[in-house]
Amino acid sequence: MSPETPAPLDRSPLKDAELVRAMATGSQGALTELYDRHAPLVVGVAQRILGSREDAEEVAQEVFVHAWRQAASYQADRASVLTWLLLVTRSRAIDRLRSRRVDDRTRAAIESFGEEVHTSSGAFSNVLSEERGRRVREELDRLPAEQREVLEMAFFAGLTQSQIAAAAAIPLGTVKTRTLLAMKKLRAVLREQIRELL
Amino acid sequence: MTSENEREDALILSLVEGGLEALPADISEQEQVLARLYAEVLGLVAQTPEPVAPRPEARERLLAAIAAGEATGPRPAAPAPPLRTPHRPRRWPLALAAGLAALSLGAAGYLAAQLSAAKGDQVRLAGELTRTRETVRELENRVGDLQQRHVEVASRLSLITEPGAAVCALRPQGALAAQPLARGALYVAGDHQHWFLRVSGLPPVPEGKVYHMWFVTDVGPVSGGTFRTEHGASAEIGSPTMPHGMTAVVITIEPATGAQSPSGEEVLFGNQIQLIS
């Protein structure tokens, strides 16, 4: 190949972890790229927890500001970047949920289980994430209803094991068993999806 | 093993309740691997709500917040040095000017050659960078596979050593009866739910066929899964659930398109279930 016709440089998109490393050095472009990739998922999970798009977008802003500030301390061996972002989102949204009138919100969250949330995916075009989300929803639906419910009450309503036991009028040990069974089954059936994130 | 299982369960419950922040800092290497896997499970659960594209103004607000709060942003570019006042041209002899012109032409040629070589280096380095990135991706995939494998092996070791675990040896049947190396074992956990099957010495099945494992129960055969084998390699399948009332296990050769009940050639069979410990 002659020097006048250089080979195309590698233009494959940077991995999430590479973007976070670039953010740690002050690259706002990397932050923008990460936001464009994952903000729809972040807003989606926050809206599922809070029920409000405005609140969800505020949480998303908190999450990406957090990611910007903590980029240098991100530990890739503890969680993939997407999981890190989503778990921070869940934590921030739950904090916000608890800061409201806890009893009313908790009741509403419990009552909302099973209802389909209809939202527009807008400009979201990450086919891989959509496919992964669809597959995980299928596996969640295959779980026994009692296992799926305790997992969703813990994850999306932020209820502790004891609160779930009280709300569902079942023993605490049963709540723990159902949660563990659900998590272990999901780990077994979602191996490919986990591997994608590792 | 029981205490290991308890620690695994405690890790899972901590993650579900409190996320990554709830994990203790002083966990072992194996616990770190487990915690990572279950964190990713939660990450996947978090992907189940439909994505919601944020409004453009939300993006603008974020970038404005970052710009306003980022005290250590990129340093402004250094001011350009002042332009020198051009000297008044002096009158040099024509010959000297011609010499300098020739010298300039030579320097230009040299620089062009250097530039061409630099472009060549750039192309070569870009190719090396691409290959290195591919190697890194392959290694990352292999590390991921090994982590998965490590957890699976630890999980299966735990399964067969916990109290109440049982094993059912499978012996060759039919045409395979003459092959003493063909065998298998079904391991069942103490909870009578988790199980895994390991077989070895089975020849590869013909195209369009699979080995099909069946649980023989009080109410008839229940499929346990299908698998293929390669020459000299063992195969494993497993599941966290097992049908109630299992009395025997049989492996048959069935069409790869699926079978509702065992109808093909029977290759391995076992009905002697023994406690391991």
B84 pLDDT tier (thresholds 50, 70, 90): very low
Give, in order, the Cα–Cα distances in Å from A165 to each of A66, A94, A177, B120, B253.
33, 19, 12, 68, 47
Option in A39, A79, A132 nearest B36 (CB) = A79
Out of A54-58, B82-86, B135-139, B145-149, pick the least confident. B82-86
Portion of chain B with pLDDT greater than 90, in percent: 17
pLDDT at site A38 = 92
- Tell me: pLDDT of B125 over 90: no
* Pairwise CB contact (< 8 Å): A120 & B145: no
pTM: 0.52
pLDDT at site A5 = 42
**Is ipTM strictly over 0.85?**
no
Pairwise CA distance, residues B114 & B108, whole Å = 10
Under DSSP, is residue B161 helix (H, G, I), strand (E, B) or coil?
Answer: helix
DSSP string, A117-151: PP---TT---HHHHHHHHHHHHHHHHS-HHHHHHH
Q: Can you give the C-alpha Rg of chain A in angstroms?
A: 19
Pairwise CA distance, residues B26 & B29, whole Å = 9
Q: Which of A53, A136, A164 to probe the B interface (max B CBs under 10 A)?
A: A136
Pairwise CA distance, residues A41 & A124, whole Å = 9
pLDDT in tens, B140-156: 888 888 888 888 788 77
pLDDT at site B248 = 94
pLDDT at site B217 = 92
Pairwise CA distance, residues A41 & B51, whole Å = 5
* Pairwise CB contact (< 8 Å): B12 & A184: yes
* Pairwise CB contact (< 8 Å): B51 & A9: no
User: Count of CB contacts below 8 A, A vs B?
Assistant: 217
pLDDT in tens, B157-213: 887 888 889 999 999 887 766 666 788 999 998 888 889 999 988 888 889 999 999
pLDDT in tens, B103-117: 888 888 888 888 888
Residues of chain A with pLDDT under 70: 1-13, 100-128
pLDDT at site A178 = 92
pLDDT at site A7 = 40
pLDDT in tens, B249-265: 999 999 999 898 999 98
pLDDT in tens, A4-43: 444 443 445 678 888 999 999 988 889 999 999 999 999 9
* Pairwise CB contact (< 8 Å): B46 & A151: no
